Amino acid sequence: MTGSPPLQAALIAAIVAFGGVLVQLLIAYLGRRQTAQQLNLQQLVSHRTTASFVADKRQKWIDELRTDMAFHLALSQEIVWKWDAMRSRAAVRADEEAKDGKGNIDQLKVDRINQDAADAFAPENGARDREHHERHIRILFRLNPKETSHISLRECLEEIRSSIHQTQGAGNQDEAIRLVNQTTNLVLRAQGLTETILKAEWKRVKQEVAYPEVLMSSIPKPQESSCPTERDIDWPSR
């Protein structure tokens, strides 16, 4: 037995209405999913752009540290070699001019020869030392005072600076030679530490470009204070 026409019409209307609701829900779901996909894509693009920006800055930091360290270590070696050469020339001159026919040494002449050599050497050495000190400070500013390899390089650079000063005040030729060798060994050690740091930073560059989401998760949110402490500073090697 079939239903009455009004009942059938009502049933059809209900089915059509229910179908319309389902279609609307489906359209809304698909719209939200598309919006979410677009947002995820935009976020990915944003993360990759940020990662590329950070990588470019880190690469610049790497290049500048390499250039500064190469110049600084070469200048460190040059300074002690120049001191050694100046003392050697003064010793040769003293041997020629401060000895009499019997081989006796006139210490006053020796002192005067040494002083003349030091006076002539002072201007060029002063210029080198100022440049060395400026580069020394600039490199320290580039290094992270919290990372082990950076701390080791900072300490080595301080030792090089101290060794150069000791070389300048060496009391005799044997001590001068010992200090020249000491500085040379420190320069080689600093070179090895620098290579370790540069290799680690280059690895970070590749990782940040390959995994931008990891980089973004490591960047802290801005704090309310306008004066960051040393703990808050985002050093290049992080």
pLDDT > 90 in the chain, percent: 38
**pLDDT for position 115:** 86
**pLDDT for position 238:** 42
Domain boundaries along the sequence of the chain: 57-212
What's the sign of the alpha-carbon dihedral 219, 220, 222, 227? Answer: negative
Beta bridge partners of residue 105, listed in sequence order: 99
CA distances from 195 to 191, 201, 211 (A): 6, 10, 24
More confident residue, 77 or 48: 77
pLDDT > 70 in the chain, percent: 77
Q: Does 19 have pLDDT greater than 50?
A: yes
The 10s digit of each residue's pLDDT in 20-53 is 777 777 777 777 777 766 666 566 566 667 667 7
The string of DSSP codes covering 29-72 is HHHHHHHHHHHHHHHHHHHHHHHHHHHHHHHHHHHHHHHHHHHH
pTM tops 0.85, yes or no = no
pLDDT band at 196, cuts 50/70/90? very high
Q: What is the mean pLDDT of residues 5-31?
A: 74
The 10s digit of each residue's pLDDT in 120-147 is 988 998 999 999 999 999 999 999 999 9
**pLDDT for position 228:** 57
pLDDT band at 183, cuts 50/70/90? very high
**pLDDT for position 1:** 46
Q: Does 17 have pLDDT greater than 60?
A: yes
Q: Does 103 have pLDDT greater than 60?
A: yes
What's the sign of the alpha-carbon dihedral 148, 153, 159, 165? Answer: negative
